[in-house]
């Protein structure tokens, strides 16, 4: 029996204690993600989408509820290197070349030198950065730095990719290109991807499912299963189906907004 359920969240609740009082970041979140899904989380600031991703990554602890990743707790999943995390900023070390940066998790996880070289070459190819191994981060554009950051997350064998607004700081043209590349990558590696974004077109373009969230307290308003075909050229963004899904997302966001 193939275990196709990769992530399961039930009744998740998270309240932060801050200097300015308690913040109810997540309330009653229920969610199931299957293997190979591309799930986007979209919502305004403070809706908890990043927090949810961080809980999956064991970077934040829930105050209540149950979360399993690959059938185990997020902590065990993290310790067995079940996922790669891509942050909003590339977070590359300026004192290491791009290749050395991508090698960093491999060094930490104890891969052999030959393995490291092999994997670095493979992921450079995947993100189309071959030839830039010996460059330093500050010699690369913002888009290329983010590609390097994605390569780093792909370097070790993790079936899950958690991405927190990775393209948020880039201009739209670069963003379109990276969206296309990400889809290609997803198809060729068949990873399960959780993707947090602000942008409705991006969420609709990339995902098989879209989770619409709203703030105060952070909760899920709607989960939309996309009926777009697997082959998605950029022009699909003008199609009827795309616009319908976008409108449904927009309605969800508005509904969440008017709850306040």
Partner 1 sequence: MNKGSWIGSDNKILPVVCIMTFIVIIWYGFSVVLNAPWEYDKAKRGSITLSTADLISQTWSQKRPKLPTPHQVTKEIWDTTINKKITSKRSLVYHGLITFYETIYGFVFGTGLGILLAIGIVYNRATAMSVMPWIITSQTIPILAIAPMIIVALGSAGFSGLMPIAIISMYLSFFPVVVGMVKGLKSPEQLEIDQMKTWSASKTQVLFKLRAPKSTPYLFTSLKLGMAASLVGAIVGELPSGGGGGLGFRMLSGSTFGNTLHIWSGLFSAAILAGSLIAIISVIQRVVLKRMALES
Minimum CB–partner distance for residue 59 and partner 1 (Å): 5
**Residues of the shown chain interacting with partner 1 in the complex, contacts defined by CB under 8 A:** 54, 57-59, 78-79, 81, 83-85, 87-89, 91, 93-95, 104-105, 107-109, 136-138
Minimum CB–partner distance for residue 78 and partner 1 (Å): 6
Minimum CB–partner distance for residue 192 and partner 1 (Å): 16
Compare residues 54 and 219 and give the one whose CB is closer to partner 1. Answer: 54
Compare residues 51 and 208 and give the one whose CB is closer to partner 1. Answer: 51
In the three-class reduction of DSSP (H, G, I as helix; E, B as strand; rest coil), residue 75 is classed as: helix
Compare residues 16 and 93 and give the one whose CB is closer to partner 1. Answer: 93
Compare residues 157 and 241 and give the one whose CB is closer to partner 1. Answer: 157
Q: Tell me the pairing of strands 209-214 and 38-42.
A: parallel
Question: φ, ψ for residue 101 (rounded to 5)?
Answer: -65, -45
Minimum CB–partner distance for residue 248 and partner 1 (Å): 33
User: What is the spatial distance between Cα 119 and Cα 26, in angstroms, rounded to a whole number?
Assistant: 37
Sheet bearing 64-69, strands edge to edge:
21-34, 5-18, 64-69
Question: φ, ψ for residue 167 (rounded to 5)?
Answer: -105, 10
In the three-class reduction of DSSP (H, G, I as helix; E, B as strand; rest coil), residue 49 is classed as: helix
């Amino acid at each position: 029996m193939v275990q196709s359920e990769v992530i399961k969240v039930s009744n998740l609740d998270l309240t932060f204690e801050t200097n300015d009082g308690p913040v109810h970041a997540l309330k009653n979140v229920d969610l199931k993600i299957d293997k190979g899904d591309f799930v986007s989380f979209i919502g305004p600031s403070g809706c908890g989408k990043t927090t949810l991703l961080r809980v999956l990554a064991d970077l934040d602890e829930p105050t209540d509820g149950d979360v399993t990743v690959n059938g185990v707790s997020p902590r065990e999943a993290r310790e067995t290197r079940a996922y790669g995390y891509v942050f909003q900023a590339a977070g590359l070390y300026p004192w290491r070349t791009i290749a050395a940066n991508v090698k960093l998790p491999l060094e930490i996880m104890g891969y052999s030198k030959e393995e490291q070289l092999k994997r670095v070459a493979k992921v450079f190819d995947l993100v189309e950065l071959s030839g830039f191994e010996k460059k330093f981060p500050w010699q690369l554009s913002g888009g290329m730095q983010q590609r390097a950051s994605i390569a780093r997350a792909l370097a070790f064998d993790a079936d899950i990719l958690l991405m927190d607004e990775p393209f948020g700081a880039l201009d739209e043209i670069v963003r379109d290109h990276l969206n296309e590349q990400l889809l290609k990558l997803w198809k060729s590696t068949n990873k399960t991807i959780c993707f947090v974004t602000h942008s409705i077109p991006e969420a609709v373009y990339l995902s098989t499912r879209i989770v619409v969230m709203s703030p105060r307290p952070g909760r899920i308003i709607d989960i939309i299963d996309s009926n777009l075909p697997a082959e998605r050229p950029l022009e699909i963004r003008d199609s009827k189906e795309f616009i319908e899904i976008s409108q449904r997302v927009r309605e969800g966001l508005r509904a969440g907004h008017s709850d306040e």
